[in-house]
Each structure stands twice: as structure tokens, then as C-alpha cells.
Amino acid sequence: MPRIASAPSLIALGLAAMTTAYAAADPADPVAAAVAAVSPASVRQTVDALVGFGTRNTLSSQDDAGRGIGAARRYLHDAFEQCAARSGGRMTVTDDRFVVARNRDLPRAATLVNVVATLPGDEGPGGRVYVVSGHYDSRNSDGLDPTGDAPGADDDASGTAAVVAAACALAPLHFRATLVFMAVAGEEQGLFGAEHWAKAARARHLRIEGMLTNDIVGTSAYAVGPDARRLRLFADGVPGRPTTDAAALRRFATGGENDSPSRALARTVKAIGASYVPTLPVEIIYRRDRYLRGGDHLPFLEAGYAALRFTEPRENFDRQHQDVRTENGVRYGDLAEYVDADYVADVARVNAATLATLALAPPTPTGVQLVTAKLENDSTLRWNAVPGATTYRVLVRRTTSADWEESIEVGDATRYTLEGRSKDDLLFGVAAVAAGGYASPPAYPDPSAD
Ligand SMILES: [Zn+2]
């Protein structure tokens, strides 16, 4: 831990203590109430219902009442409507329907439907939006088999169930930011559903401040060791190809390559999770996704949004993308019995706590700068006042540290100096905090022009 300055308003906290900044000690805390509202029984119900449709392959029946992706989609629409009934008419449920033409991943054109529940925030149109998704389509050994069983319990009824549970838990609450809960289709063939929605959002200039996808979040049973029960969170850093994004180029020019908006969001998610769901620690993986693999956050990253992926700690490849069968005494198939409803409920709680905290928080500060008027060993940060913020928080870490090491509450200020602490050696972030302690993700400072 580096030396800390001695300003009276400064509170230096270690990693464990930092999470108390979000602590749910107040019984009136709506975030704690939302977390408590998530039940394993409701998660189990959703997983079992989705598995019960036999297959949810993108090319399976749209019309059959009991089998295929159409029946699953109608079930999810109804499930979201039941959540919406708890919102006093504010949450709306829509079918985002579109046609994917025949392409190299799809042998024939297909109609796809994303089921989308929206809880509008008080910031209104043009305000911040947070998005959470799971994909409800499934597959077996043949990704284009329209009729064979493809239970898809872990991949990804688990993620879909977490999203439905979060939607129901948050529906009664009022937020500043808008929350969008999505069950998307066409993931297994090419992320079609997420890509369609993300591109439309970009075209509408939707101000998405963060996107979380839940994909294969069914169990920690295949992980080993004392920290087996955890949740991986994949967070992209440097773009995968050359960028012209001015903010990214300024970050790279100042050693901020580990401070992308996605990584800033991931550190925030981890801290919120530690505070509200201590039974399921979030482990950040500094990668876009699992090695050479992908998911529904990628189209959001491509559209320029901060986007993250939740996945269970250790996958079992006998239990996903497999025909249901027994071979040489080994059972294959993504069956409901291998999904742990208590685990998925905790995943839903991490999602709900994250979305609620961020949607109650003020926006991330703008105009955050490190003052560079002269060469000095002090570090002075300044920023624009944020509507709705009562205080601000300066986060500090060494360049070699993966996560924030200090959290400094600086009160209702728009400028703060860390005396004797060189910007050469440290990384900084500035977050806005609302009454109740709800903090935004931090902004990475630009160098000042003066
Ligand atoms: Zn999946």
C-alpha cells in the first residue's frame, strides 16, 4: 500500500474495506431489498420451464405450443409481463422481431425474436441505459439441428433465468437510469440477437453505460479449491484492432491501457457484488471472453459500449453443445439436473445489485482531468460537477495493481490534490456518489491542456 496524504477528508481503505462503501447495512436500502427478493425457487422454475420446451434451437418450431423456440419465447414474454406487473405499469415488454438472411452460419433465413423488458429511469429519453442479457436459444452436438433435444439448461437457460429474476426483483423500484432486460436469440449461430439489438441501439444513439451478459452461469460444481464458488467476469481492455477512438488513444498515451470503460465497470461490479452478495465473489478476468470464444457482449463492444460477460468458474464440456446420451458410462447433455439453482440465484443477485446500484448512482463524472500545467510530484484531479451527486470519490492504485487500492471520499468538491504522490507511479479514477452511497463507475482522467 503506498503512502497516503493526510488531508482530513481522506479515508484510505484496503480492498476488503473498500466494499463497505456499498454496504447494505441500511434495511431501507432498496438494493438490499432487491437482492433479497431473488429466490432459487423462481430461478429453478424458469430453467425447468425452458428445458421443458425440448429444444430452443434457432431453427426449431416457432408455432408448436409446447416444443421449440417459439414456445420458449412466448413463455419468456409472459414471465417478463409478470415481472412488469410489479412495476406499476412502468416496465414494458416487447418482442424485437427480425429476419436473418441465409448466410454462412445459417442454411436458411430465420425469424429471430429478442424478448426485451424495459424499466424506464427518471432521466428519461437521452438518459443513461444499463442492459443485461441471457440467450434463450440452445443447441446440441449439431448447432443446426431443428428437432433433436437440446435442453440448454446451463447454456443458457441459467443466464436467461438470472435475467428474469433480476427483472422481477428490480421492477418495483424507481431508478435514475433505464434498465433493459433481454432474452436474446441466435447466439449459438452467430450472436445474431445481441448484434441486431446493439446495432439498433447505436443507430438510435442510445446512451448505454454498461452491458452485462450472463452465459453459462449454472453451477460452480466443476471448479476446485477453496475459492471454487465464484463467478468469472470477462472484461475487455485494449481493442482487438487499431482504433481511432480519441478517448482510447488518450488512455493509451497516458498508460491507461488497463482502464477501459469495460474494466472500470468490471471493478465496480466486483465491489458491488462483494458488498451485497458475499457468498459469490466476482473474479475479473482481463480478457474479452474465454480463449478464442465469444458471447453476446461482443456486439455491444463492437458498437462502442462497455460490455462484460459473466460465466461460471469452470465449464464442463460434456454438458454443453452435446446430444443427450450416455457413452462408455459418461453422461452427456446440458440437463436441468446439473444446474444449481442456489448458484444461479446468487448470479441473479450480483446482476440485480449491480444494476440497481448503477441506476441509483449519478452519471460518471465528465471533464475529469489530471492537471499538467507544470511538472510536479503532486497529482491534482479536477472534474465537472455531476447533477445528483452529493460527494465524489477518488480511487487510487499502483500501475501494477489489478484493482483499486484506495478509495478517498473528497466530499462535495470538484478538485482534489494528492500531495507528494506522483502521477508517474499511480492510476486514478473519479466517481460520483449519490445520497445513500451509490457510486458511479469511475472516469479515467485525461491530461489537462493547461
Ligand atoms: Zn451460451
- The CA distance from 296 to 200, in Å, is 15
CA–centroid distance, 439 to ligand 1, in Å, is: 31
Say if strands 178-184 and 128-135 run parallel, antiparallel, or are unpaired: parallel
Q: Do the domain assignments include residue 244? A: yes
What are 326's three cell numbers? 450416455
CA–centroid distance, 156 to ligand 1, in Å, is: 5
pLDDT-derived band at 380 (thresholds 50, 70, 90) equals very high
pLDDT-derived band at 27 (thresholds 50, 70, 90) equals low
CA–centroid distance, 35 to ligand 1, in Å, is: 25
Q: Do the domain assignments include residue 155? A: yes
CA angle 377, 252, 287 (to 5 degrees): 120
In this structure, are 351 and 367 located in the same domain? no
pLDDT-derived band at 358 (thresholds 50, 70, 90) equals very high
In this structure, are 318 and 175 located in the same domain? yes
Q: Do the domain assignments include residue 10? A: no
Instruction: Write the CA distances from 73 to 98, 105, 255, 334, integer angstroms.
Output: 14, 22, 46, 19
CA–centroid distance, 218 to ligand 1, in Å, is: 11
* Domain stop point among 360, 388, 410: 360
Q: Do the domain assignments include residue 7? A: no
Q: Provide CB contacts within 8 A for 429, sequence distance 6+.
A: 259, 264, 394, 395, 404, 442, 443, 444, 445
CA–centroid distance, 440 to ligand 1, in Å, is: 29
| Burial class of residue 436, CB neighbours in 10 A (0-12, 13-18, 19+) | middle
Q: CB within 5 A of ion ligand 1: which residues?
A: 155-156, 215
pLDDT-derived band at 169 (thresholds 50, 70, 90) equals very high
In this structure, are 308 and 277 located in the same domain? yes
What are 252's three cell numbers? 493509451
In this structure, are 63 and 20 located in the same domain? no
Higher pLDDT, 399 or 10: 399
Which of 332, 269, 273, 320 shows the shortest CA–CA distance to 293? 320
In this structure, are 336 and 350 located in the same domain? yes
pLDDT-derived band at 65 (thresholds 50, 70, 90) equals very high
Q: Assign residue 445 a region: left if phi > 0, alpha if psi is -120 to 50, beta otherwise?
A: beta
Q: Do the domain assignments include residue 49? A: yes
In this structure, are 354 and 368 located in the same domain? no
CA–centroid distance, 316 to ligand 1, in Å, is: 13
- The CA distance from 237 to 289, in Å, is 11
CA–centroid distance, 11 to ligand 1, in Å, is: 42
CA–centroid distance, 72 to ligand 1, in Å, is: 16
In this structure, are 351 and 422 located in the same domain? no
Q: Do the domain assignments include residue 3? A: no
In this structure, are 412 and 327 located in the same domain? no
State pLDDT tens for residues 73-125: 999 999 999 999 999 999 999 999 999 999 988 999 999 999 999 999 999 99
pLDDT at position 21, please?
A: 46
In this structure, are 171 and 277 located in the same domain? yes
CATH of the domain at 144: 3.40.630.10
CA–centroid distance, 194 to ligand 1, in Å, is: 12
CA–centroid distance, 215 to ligand 1, in Å, is: 5
CA–centroid distance, 138 to ligand 1, in Å, is: 8
In this structure, are 293 and 435 located in the same domain? no
In this structure, are 277 and 170 located in the same domain? yes
Helix 69-84 and helix 40-51, axial crossing angle in degrees, nearest 10: 150
pLDDT-derived band at 415 (thresholds 50, 70, 90) equals very high
* Domain stop point among 313, 341, 360: 360
Mean pLDDT of 64-80: 98
Q: Do the domain assignments include residue 31? A: no
In this structure, are 242 and 373 located in the same domain? no
CA–centroid distance, 136 to ligand 1, in Å, is: 9
Query: What is the domain range of residue 317?
Result: 38-360
Q: Provide CB contacts within 8 A for 141, sequence distance 6+.
A: 321, 322, 323
Say if strands 307-311 and 231-235 run parallel, antiparallel, or are unpaired: antiparallel
pLDDT at position 14, please?
A: 39
CA–centroid distance, 217 to ligand 1, in Å, is: 9
CA–centroid distance, 259 to ligand 1, in Å, is: 27
Q: Do the domain assignments include residue 410? A: yes
CA–centroid distance, 318 to ligand 1, in Å, is: 14
CA 233 to chain centroid, in Å, comes to 8
Percent of the chain at pLDDT exceeding 70? 94
Name residue, grid cell 484496503: 14
Number of domains into which the chain is organized = 2
What are 271's three cell numbers? 465491489
Residue type, 398: R
CATH of the domain at 423: 2.60.40.10
Contacts 24+ apart (CB under 8 A), 319-323: 319/154, 320/154, 320/155, 320/216, 321/139, 321/140, 321/141, 321/143, 321/155, 321/188, 322/140, 322/141, 323/140, 323/141, 323/142, 323/148, 323/149
State pLDDT tens for residues 236-281: 998 878 889 999 999 999 999 999 999 999 999 999 999 999 999 9
* Domain stop point among 308, 329, 360: 360
